[in-house]
């Protein structure tokens, strides 16, 4: 597919989420300049320009997207040897879709803006399924003009795209999202462990609950994962650990108590300690199963 308003777009980080997100930009007819830490996936190896460094991506592109796991990764991509900052010139735009520390985001953005460039933090929610379906929720922070430049491209990746506020507010919103998701996963896990231990069929319990007030996207998708034991990662336990740590660090700085978030974080920690850190975050149920000495389905 081609389009008359094709742009020169950089994309750094072609992992579980980044590859399908960048793929939508490629399919929309944009010229892509890409760099990733691991092996270069198709179709980028054959249909995009593969760059040896993030600096080269930034030099070739008008808008640079970043989708990497954690705050130190973003800092390295931006300001490390061969980083984005070294390839930027005035008027370019950096869009960070990673989920990272809001305070660090503001510091990174100031350095990019001081170079005469724009910044939008645009973390996403929806997991691998949403990335592939271009149905992600995208929570943005930044200047309205910069957001306006980024939005047509973000619309190729997601459906619910909101400018929450200024720089860093997108990351604040993503932390709030991760609190809600984690607590819902824990609630679904507890309910299904309880039902199974009590002798009820957890699949039928889930089916019944899907028609009532307890219905949720988490019950629909992750409840099914818990029952079918399909924990291949769409979003890994280890990454959700990171996000909940960001929530708890922010809460300490703000003087806010987040007791349920702390509990969910401990369940994530228990899963990682049991060797499940690279599994999908629906595998949080494994910690509950271990404490109950009873699985939702199958064997422990």
Q: Which residues are annotated as catalytic?
A: 174
Q: Answer whether the bond into residue 108 is a cis peptide, omega within 30°.
A: no
The CA distance from 111 to 128, in Å, is: 31
With both helix axes pointing from N to C terminus, report the angle between 169-197 and 237-254 in degrees, rounded to the nearest 10: 120
Give 236's DSSP letter.
B
Eight-state DSSP code of residue 102: H
Q: Tokens 């509950």 map to which residue?
A: 288
* Spatial contact of 181 and 188, defined as CB atoms under 8 Å apart: no
Distant-in-sequence contacts of 17-21, Cβ < 8 A, 24+ apart: 17/67, 17/97, 17/124, 17/127, 17/128, 17/131, 18/67, 18/68, 18/97, 19/44, 20/128, 20/131, 20/132, 20/134, 21/65, 21/67, 21/97, 21/124, 21/131, 21/136, 21/157
Q: Closest Cα to residue 64, out of 28, 25, 101, 15?
A: 25
DSSP state of 198: T
**CA 121 to CA 218: how far, in whole Å?**
25
Distance CA 141, CA 134 (A): 20
């Amino acid at each position: 597919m081609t389009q008359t308003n094709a742009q020169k777009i950089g994309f750094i980080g072609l992992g579980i989420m980044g590859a399908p997100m960048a793929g939508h930009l490629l399919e929309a007819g944009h010229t892509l300049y890409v760099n990733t830490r691991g092996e270069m996936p198709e179709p980028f190896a054959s249909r995009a320009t593969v760059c040896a460094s993030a600096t080269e991506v930034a030099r070739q592109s008008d808008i640079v997207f970043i989708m990497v796991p954690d705050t130190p990764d973003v800092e390295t991509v931006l300001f490390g040897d061969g980083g984005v900052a070294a390839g930027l010139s005035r008027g370019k735009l950096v869009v960070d879709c990673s989920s990272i520390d809001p305070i660090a985001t503001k510091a990174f953005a100031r350095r990019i803006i001081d170079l005469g460039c724009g910044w939008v933090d645009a973390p996403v929610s929806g997991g691998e399924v949403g990335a592939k379906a271009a149905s992600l929720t995208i929570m943005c922070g930044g200047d309205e003009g910069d957001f306006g430049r980024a939005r047509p491209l973000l619309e190729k990746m997601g459906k619910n795209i909101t400018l929450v506020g200024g720089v860093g507010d997108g990351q604040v919103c993503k932390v709030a999202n991760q609190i809600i998701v984690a607590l819902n996963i824990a609630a679904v896990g507890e309910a299904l462990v309880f039902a199974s231990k009590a002798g009820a069929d957890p699949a039928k319990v889930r089916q019944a609950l899907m028609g009532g007030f307890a219905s949720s996207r988490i019950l629909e998708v992750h409840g099914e994962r818990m029952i079918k034991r399909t924990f291949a990662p769409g979003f890994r336990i280890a990454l959700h650990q990171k996000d909940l740590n960001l929530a708890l660090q922010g809460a300490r700085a703000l003087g806010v108590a987040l007791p349920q978030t702390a509990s969910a974080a401990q369940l994530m920690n228990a899963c990682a300690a049991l060797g499940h850190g690279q599994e999908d975050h629906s595998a949080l149920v494994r910690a509950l199963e271990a404490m109950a000495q009873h699985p939702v389905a199958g064997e422990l």
